[in-house]
Structure 1
């Protein structure tokens, strides 16, 4: 190797040494290094702050003298006595502060003791963090208790529904008020948000709860059968009709509730007849002449924009206003993310009980669930959990077991014979840790958002900060 190459290598080594010096100096934990004879070689800034000692006072000082003057006991001296790692609690005399100390022996390539490295974390800081964590947990428990109390006060659990997000709690509060009257109610929301569940909730909390709840999917009935299904027919009303006639679904639901799902799919001619039923509270069977009085609570639901349909002459305006006396809009799952994990756990618990499994979702899987956009809403979430439970090989359901889930958009991994799986997984973990830290600007909050232990999150964050420069500041 020529002189120029040696100089470049020396400069590189010096830069690396400076970097390690900076890391040691700026660590939140204290660092204390002694030689094989227990003489002080190196301390960092955190040690000076915790002990109240300046490095100029103690560099070269033997740990026996440190015990006499500045500290209650020495981990380095215990290492020299036992030849093993030592864990102690000591008190710094100058500041009267406590710390947990871990002292480890470092050996050279020949097996001879070369140095002893001790590090510690401020005991008082740990206590403060534990107190803050306990206070936060107490506050969280208090909020959960208040939510449960509000549910019990305003939302009697007539049916078992998950509603932890404020937006969904507001929906159920409105639904509970509506349940106490007989006003026609229009339930709006995207496909899969739970419109039928809210309709059942209204019925179960109404004075009609002991009567029938009849669901009609208006989009599933063919045009030539809708009228006979809804209003019934007399014997011999048409070719193929039953000889005894048949009650329509409105009559079946008498004194109870009829739920007209996908009301936007109802043909215009049937809209006229439905309007007449709403106005007169009576139906006339096909082939019949005598109207039948009915006492039915009508709930309707749609995922379509009925006002837009009214403007385009696809839905009758008078029927729209008859149905829309008390509207209830259910927000999509992506707008009530606090419901995602409770719903996922509910579905998971139900499937475990049904199939006698003991499956759990990994923290990263939960994180993906909360970040996915859920175009299919609750129905899609339920299907994803069921498929993952059935198809996963292990009891811990990993991110790879979740079908059709991606971060913002579906990730596509192309097979590569040279791929380093550990590196790929590290890059994904690095991305999530750096995103969480950037978003929360707090290690504890970021760790909690990823369902990670605080110390594990911080250790991994520092690891990736070194491996991928810029990670800690993202």
Structure 2
């Protein structure tokens, strides 16, 4: 066909203002699969294959592949007086190529068949004409995605990535666009390709992926099929999980630290149970012991505060035992039990012949006796005012003067004091010296009442029961209803009262099982939640009983409040302890 004849046909022309979308529609809708390019004389100068055309379209290149050798404009489109519908009416076999000067410089000859892939894309292009979103808008949506997006064709060639992908992975477009995933995987650009797995297994695949930049991501690749079930595209969503892994590592470290602390606390508690009469199961008691261990290392004066019977004397003994003075004397003085007329002589001693009825050899006072060790002034709030003055001088000067003597005697003693009274209120009422209060209250140590550390109740019962069984050669146990009753009792007398009740009930019970009816009426009639356990058999041991009661209480508290924090608070324990114990009992049920 001559050039002159060709010019009478509807032709493809090159215009600088044509868009990529127009070029794509032109080639697809004219069925260009493979096209030889000839010059004016019909001599073959190049071939534009289907693959070249498709890659150019999908990669948004502007036809600058083999046609570029002809120095053509970079866009090929239809003539301005034509529309898509007009072009589709023609079975165009040959198309002239016109340069920027409207000079025909070659002819593209193409086959008439259009494969399934081209038909699919052609349909998409026609459909897109009738949609509100064009390619430009679609690109904008992809670029605005927070997740990284990576798109390949059905042969794993990279055709599109967005800005988020570059930001997340640290890779640049130039490194991956147009490249096959097999090559990227082989070169170590990515650790493993989810796209290749999708093409192999033909289903959505999610894997962890790591890049040469060191970034770890979670990728989910999804296949896109044509109407014949062929994969024409794979779209991959990429989410940065590097921070999640860092948080996971930090969480693991925190767990290890927590386990270490728990182990240390358990070890300390075991040591306490083996070295003293302190039962430390409740977290509040454990915290007190921890503080006591720290302050025991120095000789600072300590003022222990708390209700009567709360265990202040046991804490004082423990402080002495773990201090550097443990091999010396521990002297306990009940200030409220010493007659006022004898306090001075008992505290500081007297010389021989100091007063009528005095020992002929004189007497050493308790402070002298405790020198090198510890003196514990229990119920210090009961001291009369005149004795408070003398005690203050001893604390300030660390020396005593015996009654009838004139020479000060140096002493080296650690002073621990305790009271169940409100010393600040006593100061306001002029019943206690303010200067002595500040001298004693260097480090205050509050011992909470038993009702505020309820997790010590059942272990204390077990401790006292063991002592009594050994002492009286008994083999007694407490029934579950008796334990429930004692657990819910308010214990105004604290540990001292509990010890007395346990001893009374053990001695007064007629058989080896101490029942609820063996307890005093004031405890049986006390208000409180009674947990009824019906699963216990005769002869069950105390540990199993305690565990069962604890399990019941934890379940009941959680069912009532519906959350860990409130349930833990109702039982007087912290949330972490509640969770640990609850998980323990849940595992036992599984």
Q: Under a length normalisation based on structure 1, what TM-score does the superposition of the two structures give?
A: 0.56
Of residues 187, 201, 208 in structure 1, which corresponds to 2:304?
A: 187
Q: Does 1:253 align with 2:364?
A: no
Question: How far has the Cα of 1:365 moved from its partner?
Answer: 1.0
Q: Does 1:151 align with 2:258?
A: no
Compared CA separation, residues 371 and 407, structure 1 to 2 (3 A): farther
Mapped to 2, the partners of 1:320 and 1:147 lie a distance apart of 33
Aligned to 2:524: 406
Compared CA separation, residues 156 and 253, structure 1 to 2 (3 A): same
Mapped to 2, the partners of 1:230 and 1:438 lie a distance apart of 53
Aligned to 2:278: 161
Of residues 476, 481, 487 in structure 2, which corresponds to 1:370?
A: 487
Compared CA separation, residues 236 and 143, structure 1 to 2 (3 A): closer
Question: How far has the Cα of 1:407 moved from its partner?
Answer: 4.9
Q: Secondary structure at the match of 1:196?
A: helix
Of residues 360, 367, 379 in structure 1, which corresponds to 2:477?
A: 360
Q: How does 1:243-322 map to 2 (within 5 A)?
A: 243-322=360-439
Compared CA separation, residues 302 and 397, structure 1 to 2 (3 A): same
Question: How far has the Cα of 1:157 moved from its partner?
Answer: 5.3
Question: How far has the Cα of 1:441 moved from its partner?
Answer: 2.3
Question: How far has the Cα of 1:149 moved from its partner?
Answer: 2.7
Mapped to 1, the partners of 2:377 and 2:472 lie a distance apart of 34
| Cα deviation code 1:118-165 (max 9, x no counterpart) | xxxxxxxxxxxxxxxxxxxxxxx9998664235369x69542420000
| Cα deviation code 1:283-318 (max 9, x no counterpart) | 000000000000000000000000110111100000
Question: How far has the Cα of 1:178 moved from its partner?
Answer: 1.0
Compared CA separation, residues 339 and 144, structure 1 to 2 (3 A): farther
Q: Secondary structure at the match of 1:441?
A: helix
- Where does the alignment leave 5 or more consecutive residues of structure 2 unmatched? 1-258, 529-551, 572-584, 586-590
Mapped to 2, the partners of 1:265 and 1:182 lie a distance apart of 24
Question: How far has the Cα of 1:437 moved from its partner?
Answer: 7.8
| Cα deviation code 1:411-430 (max 9, x no counterpart) | xxxxxxxxxxxxxxxxxxxx
Question: How far has the Cα of 1:402 moved from its partner?
Answer: 1.2
Compared CA separation, residues 375 and 306, structure 1 to 2 (3 A): same
RMSD of equivalent CA atoms: 2.9
| Cα deviation code 1:148-199 (max 9, x no counterpart) | 235369x695424200001111111111111100000001110101111000
Aligned to 1:171: 288
Which has the higher Rg, Structure 1 or Structure 2? 2
Question: How far has the Cα of 1:394 moved from its partner?
Answer: 1.2
Q: Does 1:441 align with 2:559?
A: yes
Aligned to 2:462: 345
Aligned to 1:393: 510
Mapped to 2, the partners of 1:156 and 1:391 lie a distance apart of 28
Q: Secondary structure at the match of 2:523?
A: coil
Say whether the 8 Å CA contact 2:265–2:286 is kept in structure 1: no
Aligned to 2:544: none
Mapped to 2, the partners of 1:292 and 1:437 lie a distance apart of 62
Compared CA separation, residues 157 and 264, structure 1 to 2 (3 A): same
Q: Does 1:231 align with 2:330?
A: no
Say whether the 8 Å CA contact 2:277–2:314 is kept in structure 1: no
Mapped to 1, the partners of 2:481 and 2:554 lie a distance apart of 12
Say whether the 8 Å CA contact 1:158–1:205 is kept in structure 2: no
Aligned to 2:314: 197
Say whether the 8 Å CA contact 1:351–1:386 is kept in structure 2: yes
Mapped to 2, the partners of 1:256 and 1:436 lie a distance apart of 44
Mapped to 2, the partners of 1:439 and 1:297 lie a distance apart of 45
Mapped to 2, the partners of 1:301 and 1:247 lie a distance apart of 24
Mapped to 1, the partners of 2:321 and 2:470 lie a distance apart of 25
Aligned to 1:324: 441
Q: Under a length normalisation based on structure 2, what TM-score does the superposition of the two structures give?
A: 0.45
Say whether the 8 Å CA contact 2:273–2:279 is kept in structure 1: no
Q: Secondary structure at the match of 1:373?
A: coil
Q: How does 1:30-109 map to 2 (within 5 A)?
A: none
Mapped to 2, the partners of 1:435 and 1:204 lie a distance apart of 36
Compared CA separation, residues 232 and 263, structure 1 to 2 (3 A): same
Higher relative contact order at CA 8 Å, sep ≥6: structure 1 or structure 2? 1
Say whether the 8 Å CA contact 2:269–2:280 is kept in structure 1: no
Q: Secondary structure at the match of 2:295?
A: helix
Q: How does 1:408-423 map to 2 (within 5 A)?
A: 408-409=526-527
| Cα deviation code 1:196-241 (max 9, x no counterpart) | 1000000000000000000111001111100000000011111101
Aligned to 1:97: none
Q: How does 1:207-222 map to 2 (within 5 A)?
A: 207-222=324-339
Q: Secondary structure at the match of 1:242?
A: coil
For this pair of structures, how many residues does the alignment match?
284
Aligned to 1:423: none
Mapped to 1, the partners of 2:269 and 2:503 lie a distance apart of 28
